[in-house]
Each structure stands twice: as structure tokens, then as C-alpha cells.
Amino acid sequence: MIAIIDYDAGNLTSVARAITHLGFKCIITNNIKDIDKAERVIFPGVGAAGSAMESIKRLGLDKAIKDAFSSGKPILAICIGTQIIMEYSEENDTDCLGIIGGKVLFFNFDEINKSGNNLKIPHMGWNSINIQKNHPVLSEVKADDEFYFVHGYYPAPDNYTHVIGTTGYGISFASVIGYKNIIATQFHPEKSGRPGLSILKNFCAWKPC
């Protein structure tokens, strides 16, 4: 069973639908026991870091997520989930879970846009990833595959060995982060068509060593 963590951060049913479509069983839950019992955990979400962290603490999920990480079970973080596993987010000046060292920063295009560009925020739409490091969850991603992004802030891990993939939007940022039993994407694999589904499928079979 895969536990999809529900912390009132937007609509989590699309992740559940994609997992179900792939033939795996999942539950959307904020129950710590469910998360503890699950073989795998998905930590998704949309919204803002401040309110996300608030809900996580209120529901006691901060400890549950850290425990899941320590237990070694595979964890997939998506979008705001990926930002929340970092130490700190500039969004709402928020202290986060600190599973991965580094900060979450706001896209600042003031300088870039002065020179005639018009880079918009959020970074919304399809973009590619440059794989920096092979990872079993990304094994089926092809060079020109693209993924669906919607975000105004981006994760900046301290340790470059945690960067599995990068994406260019004004700057180059870490769009896939991996460390031990956690794999985290800034994009939405559940909304990224065939290549996104391949990531979810591979996550459901992943055995971190």
C-alpha cells in the first residue's frame, strides 16, 4: 500500500488517480498509523509553504514524514512536498523539515527581464530535465521528454550530489532531488503524460539500496 499524505494542501486526487491507473493501491491519508504501515509514501501538494508547514505541524505529520525517511521506505515528494523537505523556504519565511540540506528560493528575474526578456512567474508549463545522475526512478526518461511545472519558488540543495536533474528557466535549478530513500520532483509527474507516469510506475517498484 502506498500512503499519499494529505495535509490539506490542495487536490491530491490527481496523484491517487495516476497511481490507481498504473495498477497500484494507494490511500490518501493524514493518519500517522497509515503512514507508518505503508510500504511507500508520496508527499505531494500544491499551495504555499507557510500554510503547508502549518498544517503538517498541526496534524503531527512532520514527525511521521521524518520517521518514514529514517525507516528507509521509498518516499516520493512532489512540487510543494519537494520544497517542504528542504531546510527553509523564502516563501512566507518558513522553516521546513530539513530532510535535505538547502533552501527554497524565489525566482527573481528583475535583472534578466531588464534586458528585454519577459520571464513570467509562476514557471508554468512544460519543460525538460537534464539528468545529472542516473536514478532508477528516472530510468525511462528520454532526452526530449518534458514535464509539467507550476511553481514560483525552487529548491536549491546545498550538496550537489543530491541533484538528480536540473531544469533551465532563467537560471538552472534542481528539478529532481534524490537522497537515500527519497526522490523529489519539482514538476508534477501525475500531470506529465507518459514520461510522468513512467516515473510514478518506477517509484512504485523502486527498492532503494
Partner 1 sequence: MLSKRIIPCLDVRAGKTTKGIKFENNVDIGDPVEMARFYYEAGADEIVFYDITASSDKRDIMIDVVRRVAETIFIPFSVGGGIRTVEDMRKVILAGAEKVSINSAAVNNPEIISRGAEAFGNQCIVLGMDVKYVGKSEKIPSGYEIVINGGRTFMGIDALKWAVETEKLGAGEICLNSIDADGTCNGYELNLTSLISENVGIPVIASGGAGKPEHLYDVLTKGKADAALIASMVHYGTYSISGIKTYLDESGVKVRKSW
**Which residue type, as a one-letter code, is found at position 160?**
Y
Q: Which of 1, 17, 63, 158 binds partner 1 (CB under 8 A)?
A: 17
Residues between 106 and 145 that touch partner 1 (CB under 8 A): 118, 120-128, 142, 144-145
Query: Considering just the CA atoms, what is the radius of gyration of the chain in Å?
Result: 16
Angle at 136 between CA 41 and CA 192, to 5 degrees: 70
Angle at 34 between CA 30 and CA 37, to 5 degrees: 150
Q: Determine the interface stretch with partner 1 among 60-68, 88-96, 131-139, 146-154 (rule: CB under 8 A).
A: 146-154
Q: Which of 8, 54, 197, 208 binds partner 1 (CB under 8 A)?
A: 197
Distances (CA, A) of 171 to 43, 58, 102, 143: 26, 35, 17, 19
**Which residue type, as a one-letter code, is found at position 111?**
E
Q: Which of 13, 71, 108, 161 binds partner 1 (CB under 8 A)?
A: 13
Q: How far is the CB of 67 from partner 1 (least distance, A)?
A: 28
Four-point Cα dihedral 36, 80, 142, 197, nearest 10:
50
Residue 47 binds partner 1 (CB under 8 A): yes
Q: Determine the interface stretch with partner 1 among 9-17, 81-89, 93-101, 153-161 (rule: CB under 8 A).
A: 9-17
Q: b/e for 157-189, b at 16 or more Cβ within 10 A?
A: beeeebbbbbbebbeebbbbbbbebbbbbbbbb
Q: Which of 1, 21, 63, 117 binds partner 1 (CB under 8 A)?
A: 21
Q: Determine the interface stretch with partner 1 among 28-36, 56-64, 92-100, 188-196 (rule: CB under 8 A).
A: 188-196
Q: How far is the CB of 115 from partner 1 (least distance, A)?
A: 15
C-beta closer to partner 1: residue 161 or 172: 172
Exactly one of 79, 91, 123, 204 is catalytic; name it.
79
151 is catalytic: no
Q: Are 164 and 176 spatial neighbours (Cβ–Cβ below 8 Å)?
A: yes
Q: How far is the CB of 53 from partner 1 (least distance, A)?
A: 15
Angle at 31 between CA 28 and CA 138, to 5 degrees: 45
Copy the grid coordinates of residue 124: 508554468
- Where on the chain is the footprint of partner 1 (CB under 8 A)? 10-11, 13-14, 17-18, 21, 46-48, 118, 120-128, 142, 144-146, 148-150, 168-169, 190-197
**Catalytic residue positions, numbered:** 79, 188, 190
